[in-house]
Amino acid sequence: MKTEISDLAIFGKPPAFNEKLHVGRPYIGNRERLMERMNAMLDARWLTNRGPFVTEFERKICEITGAKHAVAVCNATIGLEIAIRAANLQGEVIIPSFTFIATAHALQWQGITPVFCDIDPKTHNIDPNKVEALITPKTSGIIGVHVWGRPCDIKALTEICERYNLKLLFDAAHAFGCSYEGTMIGNFGSAEVFSFHGTKFINTFEGGAIVTNEDTLAIKARLMKNFGFVDYDQVVYLGTNGKMDEASAIMGLTSLESMDEFVAINCRNYYHYRQALAHIPGIELISYNEAEHNNYQYIIVEVDEKVTGVTRDQLVEILHAENILARRYFYPGCHQMEPYRSYFPHAGLLLQETEKLASRVMSLPTGPVISTEDIDTICQIISLVVSWGRENRSDLSSQLSNWAGMQARLAHV
């Protein structure tokens, strides 16, 4: 336990953790069941092309979400691209800039212009009140993003789309197992796209799924993910290779069997963080709506540097020195990344809340490899730094500069 500011690794002391604590270490599930299924796949010699495990995985997704169709894909980015084409989006599509870059790329890759909308600082999601001003004759739709698994204002976005005859999709990468007004995510808009990347609490090594209640969209998505094949040697539609393989589906099925356990671990960690961070000035943990289903997958805090005396970036740097790999999300915003920074150099003028949030949000380690004792240590270090930062604002920057210089010198040894 580090009780004095001089105990910190930035002052040359050993880090709090010998091994690095990551934000998203993989959840594994029951290894015996995983290997049983893998052996069955190998015995059957059916590795891909919508085998029995992919079919079962899609069925399980439908059971959990209550949606009519689930189309498993090789990753969520391809899933977004296919859903966008299946919904016939074109021209301009309104999205938040506070999202993973794939949301924007899935549009731009297909020659569709992402139009960045500001967010609600309370929800971190796209602000419906800012959407209508961005609608032009070229606008064909809106893609909302359920950031941290907390759903967008789906009702407001749906009303806007109905009023302007626009399509509505959702990037639900964070939101598997979550609900909105009692209905599971996966049932809104024309389609929602889940991510089952290795960092997600339900993973398929790498993968995703397009979930929809629209029959025609599901048919198009199935054709597109398999080159447009409708039969053994008959292509009837333009397509790509977006198939999920059997091994990935096996990992997904094994993950789903432990889903309740994984959510319980996430929930335990969340409430422990909430208790341990509650007394630290200027550190605010985001909250989840306890009336809804949540996966509690992300531990997100906002750092108010006016109160803490330490910036988010300084705190991240200090934690990294302790082998606590806190992360900035979604820094610096899609509009500040290429090619969008060059395409829309003045976009930030309309994205003031996005830029403020991107400068103060931090994600902390969680998941099955993080114990409550680890959480206590992480929060104790944050508390120590904030207490010191509030009294020694000028000294902190110089100490961090010295530490950064030392790390740079060591890197060249």
Tokens of 253: 């099925």
Q: What is the DSSP letter of 140?
A: E
**Sequential DSSP letters for 230-264:** EETTEE-S---B-BPPHHHHHHHHHHHHTHHHHHH
* Cα 401 from chain centroid (whole Å): 31
Note if 138 is an active site residue: no
CA distances (Å), origin 247, targets 36, 41, 95, 226: 12, 8, 33, 17
Q: Are 209 and 215 in contact (CB under 8 A)?
A: no
| Rounded-to-integer distance, Cα 75 and Cα 174, Å | 13
The active-site residue, picked from 2, 200, 220, 225, is 200
- Write the CA distances from 302 to 281, 313, 316, 329, integer angstroms: 11, 11, 12, 11
3-state secondary structure of 361: strand
In angstroms, rounded to a whole number, what is the distance separating the alpha carbons of residues 329 and 358?
7
* 312 phi/psi in degrees, rounded to 5: -60, -45
CA distances from 257 to 200, 252, 319 (A): 15, 9, 34
> What percent of the residues of the chain are helix, what percent strand, and what percent coil, each to the nearest 5?
45, 15, 40
Whether 104 and 334 have beta carbons less than 8 Å apart is answered as: yes
Enumerate the active-site residues: 200
